[in-house]
């Protein structure tokens, strides 16, 4: 009985690990896509309303349970409620760190997130537009990369998890 | 006043402290905060100059501007190219620096060298003494122009006139090109207006006056600092549409008005009242009223 329980446990652990790693890769893709979506909405709001950043950010905050929403809420909270006025760059960087540090994103992904904040509001809309396009391209590239990674590495992790689990279980038997 | 405290928060702590510890009389009458790069900050309270200790460096200057424009250059680029920004609460901040030209026009100001934060005031009741010139006993409104050099209280007087007329349930529309009269913030005015005031915020006067006539059917349009040729055309249209005008213009006396673009409006007696303000002995002093 103990033997069979152990075999099931070994197989389940190995397969779960594989699926978990695969899930992490999928999550990265979703985070990038969510950020890209938020960025596009923000750029549209800036182009259309030309409202100051705190106004745009506060209007974009919704009740949805998305990381980008958490980022905006964090950003607005730091801007509106901190006693000592902080620089927006600092606010954005802290908000990105707080929101994404525990998430399965790569350092290069984070540097794109930082870069978006470093451009926001720093110049006229026309001047910012070019930068936004560059970041948009970079994000799309990273998203394609995440997609490809999910298809290959994600698949590999799932299969490897199941296979290794099966091999270990057989070996244990 | 609360919003002005927020403006003060943008200043370096040492300057904030000195302003906050001013004697109550000066603090209450604060008119301008003049900031010069590499020099001491100068305050003007009731016409008197107060020099603060401590100099403002380039970093402080840049930081101050960035905080006042809420890190959103794109939202203020047009205003900045004209040499001023209007921040929440209707406070106008004049900006000086190196002008960068594009297609013969000022595109932006860089290397900011000085700023002037003007403290917009709400003096409820300050227009009471001239109200009988503006509105007769049978509620007939007279077109009025307020004339004075800068800093004599034109906008404060216009603001209170809007409140007074609105309290009489007269439909008042404010065309607030520089966001100074109504100090709109998030769709709400920073000042106490009556129940019937429509505010078109940030819209060029000539265009705004036409929009208000077409859309809001006002009885009176209030606008600040007219003086361009297109303003004259808009004034004529307003009067022809039966809408009354209360406005202001920079100038000292009748000669200045006659030299301005709106001289034909004066000659054609579009305005029934010309009210001249002075800052002596204090801002808002009515020097002369010409009743045409």
Contacts of A85 in chain B (CB under 8 A): 9-10, 67
Probe site for chain A from B75, B107, B201 (most A CB atoms < 10 A): B75
- How many residues does the structure list for chain A? 173
Tokens of B268: 């054609």
Spell out the residues 6+ positions from residue A160 whose beta carbon is closer than 8 angstroms to its own. A18
**Average pLDDT, integer, range B158-162:** 95
pLDDT digits (tens, 9 = 90+) for B133-146: 999 988 899 999 99
Nearest neighbour of A52 by CB, restricted to B9, B10, B70: B70
CB distance from A54 to chain B under 8 Å? yes
**Average pLDDT, integer, range B192-217:** 93
The percent of residues above 90 in pLDDT, for chain A, comes to 55
Match 């801007």 to its residue by tokens.
A79
Per-residue pLDDT, B1: 52
**Residues of chain B with a CB closer than 8 angstroms to some CB in chain A:** 9-10, 63, 66-67, 69-77, 108, 186
Phi, psi of B276, deg, nearest 5? -100, 125
**Average pLDDT, integer, range A26-37:** 94
Residue A47 has pLDDT above 70, yes or no: yes
Structural contact between residues A79 and A54, judged by C-beta atoms closer than 8 angstroms? yes
Nearest-CA residue of chain B relative to A47?
B74
Q: List Cα–Cα distances, A132 to A29, A45, B147, B162, in angstroms.
A: 20, 13, 47, 44
**Average pLDDT, integer, range B68-75:** 91
What average pLDDT does chain A have?
90
Based on its alpha-carbon atoms, the radius of gyration of chain B, rounded to whole angstroms, reads: 19
Spell out the residues 6+ positions from residue B102 whose beta carbon is closer than 8 angstroms to its own. none
Contacts of A55 in chain B (CB under 8 A): 70, 186
DSSP 8-state code for residue B115: E
Nearest neighbour of B9 by CB, restricted to A85, A120, A125: A85
Probe site for chain B from A53, A86, A116, A117 (most B CB atoms < 10 A): A53
Contacts of A50 in chain B (CB under 8 A): 74-75
B205-216 and B229-240 helices, crossing angle to 10°: 20
Q: What b/e readout covers A31-59, taking b as 16+ CB neighbours within 10 angstroms?
A: bbbbbbebbeebbebbeeebbbbbbbbbe
In chain B, what's the furthest Cα-to-Cα distance?
58
Residue B2 has pLDDT above 70, yes or no: no
Confidence class for position B79, pLDDT limits 50, 70, 90: confident
Report which secondary-structure segment, H or E, holds B29. Answer: none
Has this prediction a pTM greater than 0.90? no
CA B175 to centroid of chain Cα atoms: 12
Probe site for chain A from B9, B16, B71 (most A CB atoms < 10 A): B71
Which of the pair, B161 or B4, is modelled with greater confidence?
Answer: B161
Nearest neighbour of A46 by CB, restricted to B10, B67, B74: B74
Structural contact between residues B50 and B29, judged by C-beta atoms closer than 8 angstroms? no
Contacts of A125 in chain B (CB under 8 A): 74, 77
Confidence class for position B72, pLDDT limits 50, 70, 90: very high
**Average pLDDT, integer, range A28-44:** 94
Tokens of B157: 């007087």
Q: In what order do the strands lie in the sheet with B273-278?
A: B197-201, B172-176, B220-223, B244-250, B144-148, B273-278, B285-291
Q: Distance, in angstroms, between B235 CA and closest chain A CA?
A: 29
Contacts of B77 in chain A (CB under 8 A): 124-125
| Cα separation, B282 vs A47, whole angstroms | 44
The percent of residues above 70 in pLDDT, for chain B, comes to 99
Nearest-CA residue of chain A relative to B71?
A121
Per-residue pLDDT, B87: 85
Probe site for chain B from A45, A78, A80, A85 (most B CB atoms < 10 A): A85
Long-range residue pairs from A141-146, CB within 8 A, at least 24 positions apart, any chain: A142/A32, A142/A108, A142/A109, A142/A112, A143/A29, A143/A32, A143/A33, A143/A36, A146/A25, A146/A28, A146/A29, A146/A32
Residue B198 has pLDDT above 90, yes or no: yes
Confidence class for position A144, pLDDT limits 50, 70, 90: very high
Nearest neighbour of A125 by CB, restricted to B66, B74, B108: B74
CB distance from A86 to chain B under 8 Å? no
Based on its alpha-carbon atoms, the radius of gyration of chain A, rounded to whole angstroms, reads: 21
Contacts of B67 in chain A (CB under 8 A): 85
Spell out the residues 6+ positions from residue A144 whose beta carbon is closer than 8 angstroms to its own. none
Q: Quick check: B75 and A121 CB within 8 A?
A: yes
pLDDT digits (tens, 9 = 90+) for A53-96: 999 999 999 888 899 999 999 999 998 877 666 788 999 999 99
Confidence class for position B88, pLDDT limits 50, 70, 90: confident
Q: Is the peptide bond between B105 and the residue preceding it cis, with omega within 30 degrees of 0?
A: no
| Cα separation, B270 vs B226, whole angstroms | 14
pLDDT digits (tens, 9 = 90+) for A13-31: 988 988 888 888 899 999 9
Per-residue pLDDT, B9: 84
Nearest neighbour of A121 by CB, restricted to B10, B73, B186: B73
What average pLDDT does chain B have?
90
**Average pLDDT, integer, range A125-153:** 92
| Cα separation, A150 vs A158, whole angstroms | 10
Q: Quick check: B70 and A46 CB within 8 A?
A: no
Q: Quick check: A125 and B66 CB within 8 A?
A: no
Phi, psi of B111, deg, nearest 5? 45, 60
Q: Distance, in angstroms, between A51 CA and closest chain B CA?
A: 6
Q: Distance, in angstroms, between B78 CA and closest chain A CA?
A: 9
Q: Which of A15-19, A32-36, B124-128, B168-172 has the lowest mean pLDDT?
A: A15-19
**Average pLDDT, integer, range B222-228:** 92
Nearest neighbour of A88 by CB, restricted to B9, B10, B71: B71
Which of the pair, B248 or A81, is modelled with greater confidence?
Answer: B248
Tokens of A44: 């549209």
Match 């927020």 to its residue by tokens.
B6
Residue A49 has pLDDT above 70, yes or no: yes
């Amino acid at each position: 009985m103990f033997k069979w329980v152990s075999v099931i446990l070994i197989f389940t652990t190995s397969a779960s690990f594989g699926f978990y790693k695969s899930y992490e890769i999928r999550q990265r893709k979703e985070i990038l896509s969510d950020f890209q979506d938020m960025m596009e909405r923000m750029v549209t709001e800036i182009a259309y309303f030309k409202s100051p950043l705190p106004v745009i950010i506060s209007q974009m905050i919704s009740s949805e349970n998305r990381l980008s929403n958490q980022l905006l809420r964090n950003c607005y909270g730091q801007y509106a409620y901190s006693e000592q006025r902080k620089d927006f760059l600092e606010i954005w960087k802290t908000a990105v760190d707080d929101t994404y540090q525990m998430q399965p994103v790569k350092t290069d992904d984070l540097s794109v997130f930082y870069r978006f904040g470093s451009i926001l509001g720093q110049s006229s809309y026309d001047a910012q537009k070019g930068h936004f396009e560059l970041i948009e391209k970079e994000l799309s590239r990273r998203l394609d990369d995440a997609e490809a990674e999910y298809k290959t590495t994600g698949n590999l992790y799932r299969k490897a998890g199941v296979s290794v689990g099966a091999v270990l279980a057989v070996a244990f038997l | 006043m609360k919003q002005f405290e927020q403006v003060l928060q943008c200043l370096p702590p040492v300057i904030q402290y000195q302003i906050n510890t001013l004697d109550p009389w000066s603090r209450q009458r604060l008119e301008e905060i003049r900031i010069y790069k590499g020099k001491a900050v100068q305050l003007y309270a009731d016409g008197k100059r107060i020099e603060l200790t401590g100099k403002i460096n380039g970093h402080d200057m840049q930081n101050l501007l960035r905080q006042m424009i809420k890190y959103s250059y794109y939202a203020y680029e047009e205003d900045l190219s004209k040499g001023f920004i209007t921040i929440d609460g209707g406070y106008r901040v004049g900006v000086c620096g190196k002008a960068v030209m594009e297609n013969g026009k000022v595109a932006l100001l860089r290397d900011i060298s000085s700023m002037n934060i003007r403290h917009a005031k709400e003096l409820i009741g300050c227009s009471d003494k001239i109200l009988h010139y503006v509105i007769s006993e049978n509620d007939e409104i007279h077109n009025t122009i307020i004339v004075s050099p800068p800093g004599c209280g034109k906008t404060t007087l216009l603001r209170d006139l809007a409140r007074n007329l609105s309290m009489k349930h007269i439909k008042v529309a404010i065309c607030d090109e520089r966001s100074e009269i109504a100090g709109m913030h998030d769709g709400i005015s920073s000042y106490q207006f009556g129940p019937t005031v429509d505010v078109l915020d940030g819209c060029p006067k000539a265009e705004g006056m036409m929009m208000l006539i077409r859309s809001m059917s006002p009885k009176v349009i209030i606008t600040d600092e007219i003086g361009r040729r297109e303003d004259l055309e808009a004034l004529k249209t307003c009067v022809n549409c039966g809408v009354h005008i209360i406005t202001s213009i920079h100038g000292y006396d009748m000669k200045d008005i006659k030299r301005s673009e709106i001289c034909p409006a004066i000659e054609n007696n579009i305005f029934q009242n010309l009210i001249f303000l002075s800052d002596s002995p204090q801002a808002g002093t009515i020097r002369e009223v010409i009743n045409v």
